[in-house]
């Protein structure tokens, strides 16, 4: 097993490997991730070759939404045919390699997301043996869009209108010259209340534009904004997953003062209606199982959990 740095020439083979886990992943997406990379965030990637084929991809990176110069996220993907405990593609060796490569950077901590399923449970055991501890669980949820029945939610938008709250799409707001800056401020504000494992940090405006508004997954007619007296009070972002039959809800957030008025519920109904009109089979989302407000709302609407991911963290100091 040979581990070497990943170069741009390896991207096509790496994308082929990643597609085993994310079938819609493309080389364009990989280049887009490079283009939008925040230069203050360190990143390093490796591949493992065996008989000339790339069979594993390992990395460390820093997350601009939880930035700390000495805190890292690591990742490892092994070709599914070789992803088992006694494989000659050794997950343990690869984890040791990434952790060793972090040491010159004097890390405080490293975290990693691992699927909690029969195949990947051995990774969790390996990581725990290396000093990682579980800190959070995330649940992937899916809603059957064609089966969704709007009947019991009649009047939701009207109730908001009576309170002076209107929901518009990003596209409908194009006449507002401050739209992008207002959304940038709002995303940073609500991000602070998402229960991330580390303190959230504000991204800069250029990163927001490049990463969010210019993302190939951004749908201007499915990014919903709640407005009260010209103030943006909440947002919810429904995104494309090219090549897939589902759409994906990423961030949903409402300013603290306006919570429990039914704004997030109305966002979800707008998203379902939009997905239905385009003939999508499902809406997927991911939520931290300890984030009761959004988890309760999603379950109430009929989102079904289909996968659990464990977040493990190793503290070095």
Task: Give the nearest distance from C-beta 154 to ligand COA in angstroms.
Answer: 15
Q: Does 4 bind ligand COA (CB under 6 A)?
A: no
Between 131 and 170, how does the x/- string for binding to ligand COA read (CB under 6 A)? ----------------------------------------
Q: Which of 99, 90, 79 is nearest to 122 (CA)?
A: 90
Q: Which residue of 73, 138, 142, 291 would you call a contact of ligand COA, by CB under 6 A?
A: 291
Q: Which residue of 73, 211, 252, 313 would you call a contact of ligand COA, by CB under 6 A?
A: 252
Q: Does 253 bind ligand COA (CB under 6 A)?
A: yes
The answer for residues whose C-beta is within 8 angstroms of residue 312's C-beta and 6 or more apart is 111, 112, 114, 124, 127, 128, 132, 133, 134, 135
Q: Mark the segment that binds ligand COA (CB under 6 A) among 73-81, 113-121, 214-222, 246-254.
A: 246-254
Query: What are the angstrom distances between the C-alpha of 277 and each of 81, 146, 222, 270, 272?
Result: 39, 10, 12, 11, 9
Which CB atom, from 188 or from 291, has the smaller least distance to ligand COA? 291
Q: At what angle do helices 292-301 and 263-277 cross, to 10 degrees?
A: 40
Q: Does 261 bind ligand COA (CB under 6 A)?
A: yes
Q: Does 2 bind ligand COA (CB under 6 A)?
A: no
Q: Which of 45, 23, 48 is nearest to 33 (CA)?
A: 45
Task: Give the nearest distance from C-beta 295 to ligand COA in angstroms.
Answer: 8
Which CB atom, from 62 or from 188, has the smaller least distance to ligand COA? 188
Q: Which residue of 294, 310, 311, 312 would you call a contact of ligand COA, by CB under 6 A?
A: 294
Q: Which of 139, 141, 138, 130 is nearest to 94 (CA)?
A: 130
Counting every residue written for the chain, the total comes to 317
Count of residues that interact with ligand COA, criterion CB under 6 A: 22
The answer for residues whose C-beta is within 8 angstroms of residue 113's C-beta and 6 or more apart is 73, 75, 138, 309, 310, 311
Q: Which residue of 40, 42, 128, 300 would you call a contact of ligand COA, by CB under 6 A?
A: 300
Which burial class, exposed, middle or buried, applies to 201 when counting CB atoms under 10 A from its CB (0-12, 13-18, 19+)?
A: middle
Instruction: List interacting residues with ligand COA (CB under 6 A).
Output: 190, 193-194, 251-254, 259-265, 287, 291-294, 296-297, 300
């Amino acid at each position: 097993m040979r581990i070497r740095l990943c170069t741009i020439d390896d991207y096509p083979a790496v994308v082929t490997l990643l597609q085993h886990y994310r079938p819609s992943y493309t080389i364009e997406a990989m280049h887009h991730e490079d283009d939008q990379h925040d230069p203050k965030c360190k990143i390093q990637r490796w591949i493992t070759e065996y008989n000339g084929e790339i069979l594993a991809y390992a990395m460390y990176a820093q997350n601009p939404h939880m930035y700390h110069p000495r805190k890292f996220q690591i990742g490892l993907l092994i070709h599914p045919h070789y992803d088992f405990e006694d494989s000659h593609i050794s997950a343990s060796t690869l984890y040791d390699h990434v952790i060793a490569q972090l040491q010159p950077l004097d890390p405080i901590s490293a975290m990693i997301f691992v699927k909690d399923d029969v195949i990947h449970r051995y990774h969790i055991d390996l990581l725990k043996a290396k000093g990682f501890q579980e800190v959070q669980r995330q649940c992937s949820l899916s809603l059957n869009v064609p089966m969704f029945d709007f009947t019991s939610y009649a009047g939701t938008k009207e109730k908001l209108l009576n309170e002076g709250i209107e929901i518009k799409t990003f596209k409908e707001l194009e006449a507002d010259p401050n739209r992008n800056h207002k959304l940038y401020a709002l995303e940073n504000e609500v991000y602070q209340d998402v229960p991330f494992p580390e303190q959230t940090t504000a991204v800069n405006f250029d990163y927001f534009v490049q990463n969010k508004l210019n993302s190939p997954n951004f749908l201007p007619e499915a990014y919903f904004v709640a407005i009260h007296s010209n103030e943006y009070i909440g947002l919810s972002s429904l995104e494309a997953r090219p090549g897939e039959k589902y759409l994906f809800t990423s961030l949903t957030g409402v300013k603290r003062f306006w919570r429990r008025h039914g704004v997030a519920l109305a966002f979800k109904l707008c998203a379902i209606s939009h997905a239905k009109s385009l003939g999508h089979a499902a809406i997927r989302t991911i939520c931290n199982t300890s984030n009761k407000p959004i988890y309760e709302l999603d379950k109430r609407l009929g989102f079904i959990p289909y996968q659990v991911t464990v977040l493990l963290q190793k503290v070095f100091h």
